[in-house]
Structure 1
Amino acid sequence: MPADAPMPHAKYEHLVARARRMPPVRTVVVHPCDESSLRAAVESAELGITQPVLVGPQHKIKAIAAAAALDILPYTIVDVPHSHAAATTGVAMIRHGEGEVLMKGSLHTDELMHEVAAAETGLRTERRISHVFVMDVPSYSETLFITDAAINIFPDLDAKRDIVQNAIDLHHRIGLGTPRVAILSAVETVTTKIPSTIEAAALCKMADRGQITGGLVDGPLAFDNAIDLEAARIKGIRSEVAGRAQILVVPDLEAGNMLAKNLTFLAGADAAGIVLGARVPIVLTSRADSVRSRMASCAIAKLLAEARREQNPAQAVSS
């Protein structure tokens, strides 16, 4: 581990500690009908991060809580018959101002996001919805964002502009400051043979012209010279971003998903997940997530909700 790298998991602990200093955020938990998702809701509440409202079949939720020895008596349960009804009801509750965060339980991501993205009844804004993995990589000194590795499969240039802007805004709103943004490809030179290099160059020019704001953007960069100063030096890349990127923008979902999972399973990283571009932050948890990752996801959502509350006090939810 480099001498300047922080202790493992210190980045997440800092986010969770900041979130715990704020009042709990009212969180609509959609279909928490397995132990993993119900435990995430309960443990985030016990840490003072969330105030969960559990939306799903009441008999299932209570049976899982009893089997796992989880105390859910302090929390409201909204009884609906199945996962689809839970997704519909949870999104409607957010639209009606009954929560500031939406949290996925034990239903498929597509089922929840279908309701979120619905034109008339969903939670869309003018911004493209996208996902960010907030990675705590023990061997890297920075909190590392990877986007988009979960929502947009093959985004076009307009979608990538929103993906980049969403990630930059997240970096600011959770208190990490102005980010260094690397637009990744397989190489660091622009070539017609690799279309993602052309899009990377276009995104950089968009940043130059104010179509993307709030971050230092460079690309195309290969993964090695985006995160390693020596690799950037060897390639002769002079950039404020190269070698010390904080946001990695991947060409497509396949590349991003493989990159995030490689860091998780081969580098011991934790991966918190958050969906951006909707009316509220959306927490996507997985059964494979560590407790740290689940709590970090909730903490990030809470910090985002707090930033939104400060920006629009009239939209805050009364607890």
Structure 2
Amino acid sequence: MRIEENRTFAEIAPGDSAEIVRVCTEDDFYVFATASGNHNPLHLARHDGDGDGAAEVVAPAMWVASLISAVIGNILPGAGTLYRAQSLRFEARAHAGDELVARVTVTEKRPPDGIVMATEVTRKSDGATILTGEAEVQAPPRKLTFEDLDIPGLLIERHRHFDALIDRAEPLPPLPTAVIAPEEPRSLGGALLGARHTIIAPILIGDPARIAAAARELGASLDGIEIVEAADHDRAANIAVDLVAQGRAAALMKGHLHTDVMLKAALRKEKGLRTGRRFTHVFVMDVPGVAHPLLVTDAAINIAPDLRTKMDIVQNAIDLARSIGIEVPKVGVLSAVETVNPDIPSSLDAALLSKMAERGQITGGIVDGPLAMDNAVDISAARTKGITSQVAGRAEVLVVPNIDAGNMLAKQLAYISHAEGAGVVMGALVPIILNSRSDDDKARLASCAVAALHNARLTGLLPVVSRAAE
């Protein structure tokens, strides 16, 4: 807690100076765009504002100028100051990542309360002048001393982790993907979006007339995309699995059909996709404000998994986390408590899974449990409970006790925390892209990217990350 103190007209003399240093970020520019209504793409990450094929992320000029007001309102003269005039001349441009120095210097006093100041913003790295000008303000009428104000924080609903996954997947060879029954606009649109970003090469399986109708509704072309006719959804799912067996497809993607129809075909005994592990579902969640992707498993397939199934759930999640760039995944096995309680079966399973990882029965990550949700993801909560662990407060993978808990957690993250979720089924010979009907384009595209990255690691297109945790 800081104690702030302003300066009245009598306390200020020509030559007095004050400054602040601020690193400008992409999120600053999104906040400015929202507050000001200025949506110029030159200022926004991942947008090409001048048609040169590159994102500029130029700092908005008036955002840079606002740094001057921060010095005036916070330091010199400080609280109680009001603007009368401000001139500005922009000498150069700042960009996201620049460290800027905003400085004011008193040049004149105009009784009874006027203060004139030279104002400037420079870039710290090279001293370049970004802005010059002059401010005239009304000095505070009385002395104020106060504690640093508690301003509500802002959370930018931007999914940077998914952006990074998509950027990593786009340069890879397109993943041949059998898309099962993409017979309505959302499921077809997700497949076509993945194709436009060169992440997947879709093979569409289903009723050609319905697929064409969905394309017309989207205003999309199907030129150059293979369509395989299937009389019904059971047949479409089996054809998709056949394409994997023939080496023509390296992933499946769920379209407009029931999940159990697709999984029944994948689990068939003859030329199916079994590997000896249970099929398990992993949500890769991009939660605004969380510094890394957060994996939640299993929230979609295994209803009440036993310990053996949970072993596969944990191992599959670790494997996927490694594929998306988490070198040594930290896995928190969740329960209602962080201590082993014989009356709470999930706490017993969590402790056993943790010990199995220590003994090498689960490899590639660090597993700890039981952990309650708070001390799995919040380091302060873990310290309050006295938990000393490499995982507590830092979990990147959350293993839930059952499908009820997983479904609630994933939807809470989506609808209350504004997360996006990419869905992939693991444990099969190839990744299975499994989206919800309510998923938007970003979630569907990210699901394709996650599947492509996992396939690339398995086939050697991406380097295998360190297995130091094993």
TM-score when normalising by structure 2:
0.64
Counterpart check, 1:12 vs 2:158: no
Contact 1:228 1:242 in 2 (8 A): yes
Match of 1:166 among 285, 301, 316: 316
1:133 is aligned to 283
Residue 311 of structure 1: CA displacement? 7.9
1:203-229 alpha-carbon deviations (Å, 9 max, x no partner): 011011110111111100000110011
Counterpart CA distance in 1 for 2:298 and 2:436 is 17
Counterpart CA distance in 2 for 1:201 and 1:288 is 35
Match of 1:31 among 181, 196, 199: 181
1:110 is aligned to 260
Q: Which amino acid aligns with 1:234?
A: T
Provide the secondary structure at the position in 2 that maps to 1:44: helix
Query: How do residues 1-319 of structure 1 correspond to structure 2 at under 5 angstroms?
Result: 8-310=158-460
Q: Which amino acid aligns with 1:106?
A: H
Contact 1:124 1:277 in 2 (8 A): yes
- The more displaced of 300-309 and 252-261 is 300-309
Q: Which amino acid aligns with 1:222?
A: A
Residue 7 of structure 1: CA displacement? 7.2
Counterpart CA distance in 2 for 1:283 and 1:154 is 22
- The more displaced of 301-310 and 266-275 is 301-310
Counterpart CA distance in 2 for 1:170 and 1:65 is 32
Contact 1:40 1:291 in 2 (8 A): yes
Contact 2:157 2:418 in 1 (8 A): no
Higher relative contact order (CA 8 A, sep 6+): 1
For structure 1, the 5+ residue unaligned runs are 313-319
Contact 1:115 1:121 in 2 (8 A): no
Q: Which amino acid aligns with 1:289?
A: D
1:176-201 alpha-carbon deviations (Å, 9 max, x no partner): 21111000000001011101100111
Contact 2:190 2:445 in 1 (8 A): yes
Counterpart CA distance in 2 for 1:189 and 1:107 is 42
1:52-97 alpha-carbon deviations (Å, 9 max, x no partner): 0000011111122122211111200001111111111111111111
- The more displaced of 167-176 and 214-223 is 167-176
Q: Which amino acid aligns with 1:186?
A: A
Residue 25 of structure 1: CA displacement? 1.0
Counterpart CA distance in 2 for 1:238 and 1:308 is 34
1:22-77 alpha-carbon deviations (Å, 9 max, x no partner): 11111110000010000001111011111100000111111221222111112000
Counterpart CA distance in 1 for 2:461 and 2:347 is 36
CA, structure 1 residues 34+7, in 2 after alignment: closer, same or farther (shift >3 Å)?
Answer: closer
Residue 6 of structure 1: CA displacement? 8.8
Counterpart CA distance in 1 for 2:312 and 2:156 is 31
Counterpart CA distance in 1 for 2:296 and 2:321 is 12
For structure 2, the 5+ residue unaligned runs are 1-26, 28-151, 463-470
Q: Which amino acid aligns with 1:48?
A: T
Backbone CA RMSD of aligned residues:
1.8
Counterpart CA distance in 2 for 1:53 and 1:212 is 35
1:121-175 alpha-carbon deviations (Å, 9 max, x no partner): 4211011111100000002112100011111111111111111011111111222
Contact 2:180 2:236 in 1 (8 A): yes
Counterpart CA distance in 2 for 1:116 and 1:261 is 26
Residue 238 of structure 1: CA displacement? 0.8
Q: Which amino acid aligns with 2:249?
A: G
1:226-272 alpha-carbon deviations (Å, 9 max, x no partner): 00111111111111111110000000111101100011000000010
Q: How many residue pairs get matched?
A: 311
Counterpart CA distance in 1 for 2:245 and 2:188 is 23
TM-score when normalising by structure 1:
0.94
Normalized per residue, which structure has more helix? 1
Residue 288 of structure 1: CA displacement? 0.6
Counterpart CA distance in 1 for 2:279 and 2:156 is 32
Counterpart CA distance in 2 for 1:286 and 1:202 is 32
4+ residue segments displaced more than 6 Å: none
- The more displaced of 53-62 and 63-72 is 63-72
CA, structure 1 residues 139+311, in 2 after alignment: closer, same or farther (shift >3 Å)?
Answer: closer
1:315 is aligned to none
Counterpart CA distance in 2 for 1:175 and 1:239 is 22
Counterpart CA distance in 1 for 2:422 and 2:228 is 26
Q: Which amino acid aligns with 2:324?
A: I
Counterpart CA distance in 1 for 2:172 and 2:358 is 36
Q: Which amino acid aligns with 1:182?
A: G
